[in-house]
Structure 1
Amino acid sequence: MRIGLVVDSACDLPGEYLRRNGFTILPISVRIGDETREDQRDERVTLDFLRTHVTERGAEAETAPFTVEQITDVFLRTLVIDYDYVFCMTITRTRSPIYDNALQASYAILNEYRPVRSAAGHDTPFALRVIDTQTLFAAQGITAVEAVRLVKAGEGAPKIRARLENLALHTYGYMIPRDLYYLRARARKKGDRSVGLLSAALGSALDIKPVLRGYRGATEPVAKVKGFDTAVQKLFAHTADRVRRGLMTPTVCLSYGGELEEMRALPGYEDLRVTCQSYNVELFESVMSLTGMVNVGKGALVVGFASEPHAFEA
């Protein structure tokens, strides 16, 4: 069985990894002022856009995920021909309409694929599954990497589906933003009142940084730490501790809203890297997607891994 993998462009994994493993990317368009870019996981383009636009006007950006019709078209043009079963893994539905769009598109795809496959010489059925990763950004990468591992191991579609859906329930995404004023401005633009003016003002005045957690569709603060570097160090230490205790997959994903060398210079990074290496856990590092950066701001850090339920201890 030929199994295909699809992610949206908010999934923070290195572009080279996604290309090498044959992922299809559902892009998200980002418009700032009169300029529009299609987020295709191109690190160079993202960093260029960051330098020229995100810092000054990113909070006013408009983002547009693929519509139901666009997703349907992608599948019917290529995916129903190239594969027999496709897993489409999306950012949490509580933060984006991509999951709902893909799910709605799946109904049309399954109704219309037969003549397309038949014309290409395939008479076998086609199937697809849309999976809500229930998290975002780097943490989305956990499910995607596990899907690659299972496909390479020759596992069948039913086992892969069960594993990925269970994994989504145990994937944690932790984020530390640098600029709470930016985060609040962006939240207001999107009608999200999760970051209030008072908390933003106090956080900036006192240099208090929240540690935000994306888990099972909910995004909420789980700690407040004085100073960005200190917060990052505590998050890296927390992640290293979970690695030592045993993760549900041998994978940790990091993404950063800027040059990766900046992230690697942050306190605690080297200890985390060495711990992952010692425990045979693969560490993926990527520049945050353009979509992610316009939503959470320049210089934000996200860490993702799959683990048994636990509390973040600051």
Structure 2
Amino acid sequence: MNGKVGVGVAIYQAPDSNALDIAGRVASEIKEVEATLPSGLKIDLVYDTTEFVKMSIQDVIITLIQAFLLVVLVIFIFLQNWRTTVIPLIAIPVALIGAMEFAFLFGFSINNLTLFGLILATGLVVDDAIVIVESCTEKIQKQGMTAREAAIASMNDLSGATIATSLVLMAVFIPVAFFPGFTGKLYQQFALIIAFAIVVSTFNALSFSPSMAGILLGPAQPMGGPFGWFFDKFNRFFFWLSDRFYQWVQFFIKSVTSFWGCSWPGHWQQSLWMTLPATDRKSLPKPISNLPSPEAHLPPLRRALLNSG
């Protein structure tokens, strides 16, 4: 080695062992053995495959932190209140730590796939908390409820929907854990770590989030300073974008009805007329002229779009 006589010793990882743990123990053993060697002899670590693993995990951890900060930034921009931002913000570490607790109970290790699952789960675990906080805020500001009353009313309205959406997400990821062969083993921990995070976030949304909302939330207060200026510009742009989307939907519906070549009520009547036998057509009632047109449903759609922002 390096032009000198040496002896190579290869150390292989046993199945179900942790590569980083083995590398650490080998390094400590090398230090102990070096202290007993005669002068002129030394031990060099020539090739260590765990260096790549360490760098990969470090990059994944940095990505996880970036994803966390981006989620917090997006929540704050759209909710525009630090009180409403704190509640989903706390939901993220609670869900991720809870998922790691489940991973420990199932014997999973921290590797690239489990960390990648945590990155993906970072954006999934805040959905329920955001919906609940937004519902509580709307009831406080528009219906004049207290924070506690708004939290109770929101949970009465959203408990079933929260559980249903979480079950749908879990139904997507859990079957991946049962893939056969090497692929199934490879993605088992990835799929289940996301499912664990969803379970914890659902429990958090049904218990912790409404409790925090009942304590922290209150009447809306205008924000001044740089944040107030930024939010004013952002809201103007967002409402302008929502307006353009509303106009596009209106144009699309009018184009479709024009392509059919008939108005909506007339199309219903014509379809009903063509599906009945000739002997039954005399019993049909007179044409109904006061059926709602498609345009009648557009203002509520526009209001729904604006309120959802």
The alignment's TM-score, normalised by the length of structure 2, stands at 0.23
Which has the higher relative contact order, 1 or 2, with Cα contacts under 8 A spaced 6 or more apart?
Answer: 1
Q: Write 1 or 2 for the structure with the bigger share of helix.
A: 2
Q: Which has the larger radius of gyration?
A: 2
Q: Write 1 or 2 for the structure with the bigger share of strand.
A: 1
